[in-house]
């Protein structure tokens, strides 16, 4: 899995670099977002995060986003009879590239988004995971963006993830 994750991360960086060097004629945006979610694993109570998204438009309906940020899963306490043990939080840095498609020809409104990449664990020994993130959202022409997403992490046969909301604001470059 480590080799596969490195290939995905390298491919994402190459695609982002290719499009960024050819993006002069297209519209470009930089967005900052906050994320809150419900983890799919019973070991965690909530997922919180923030991200930066560079996005350039191929045309009015199709955009290529490159996203990086930080997400933290807050652990639940573990009750062992008369003793309660603090759970261990898990943090990671997702780096993703994807495609964002607006269902309206104006380049605003309802959109679908799919991203793939790598999640670099920040806990000691947590390693790198494959990250995938489908989403549906609504972007206003003012720059406000609200999306519902699932973000999954997969590594060494195990997986976890969260269902969350992303509230963001995008600036035109």
* CA angle, residues 20, 104, 65, in degrees to nearest 5: 20
Q: What are the tens digits of pLDDT across the range 121-166? A: 999 988 999 999 999 999 998 999 999 999 999 988 889 999 999 9
CATH of the domain at 73: 2.40.160.20
Query: For 101-113, what is each residue's pLDDT tens digit?
Result: 999 988 889 999 9
Phi, psi of 104 (to 5 degrees): -105, 140
Query: In a 3-state reduction of DSSP, which class is residue 142?
Result: coil
The count of structural domains within the chain is 1
d(CA 60, CA 56): 10
What's the CA gap between 94 and 160, in Å, rounded?
Answer: 14
Q: Which two tokens stand for residue 14?
A: 């190459």
Q: How would residue 24 be classed by pLDDT, with cut points 50, 70 and 90?
A: very low
Q: Which two tokens stand for residue 32?
A: 């900052």
- Cα–Cα nearest to 116, from 130, 100, 137, 101: 130
State the residue range of the domain holding 20.
Answer: 2-172
């Amino acid at each position: 899995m480590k080799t596969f994750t490195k290939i995905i991360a390298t491919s994402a960086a190459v695609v982002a670099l290719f499009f960024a060097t050819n993006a002069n004629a297209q519209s470009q945006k930089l967005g900052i977002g906050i994320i809150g979610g419900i983890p799919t694993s019973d070991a965690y109570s909530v997922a919180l995060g923030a991200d930066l998204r560079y996005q350039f438009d191929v045309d009015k309906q199709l955009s290529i986003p490159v996203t990086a940020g930080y997400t933290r899963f807050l652990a639940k306490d573990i009750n062992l009879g008369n003793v309660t043990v603090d759970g261990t939080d898990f943090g990671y840095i997702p780096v993703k590239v994807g495609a964002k498609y607006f269902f309206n020809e104006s380049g605003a409104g309802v959109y679908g988004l799919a991203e793939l990449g790598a999640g670099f664990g920040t806990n000691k020994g947590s390693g790198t995971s494959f990250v995938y993130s489908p989403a549906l959202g609504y972007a206003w022409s003012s720059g406000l963006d609200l999306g519902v997403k699932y973000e999954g992490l997969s590594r060494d046969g195990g997986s976890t993830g969260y269902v969350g909301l992303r509230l963001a604001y995008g600036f035109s470059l």
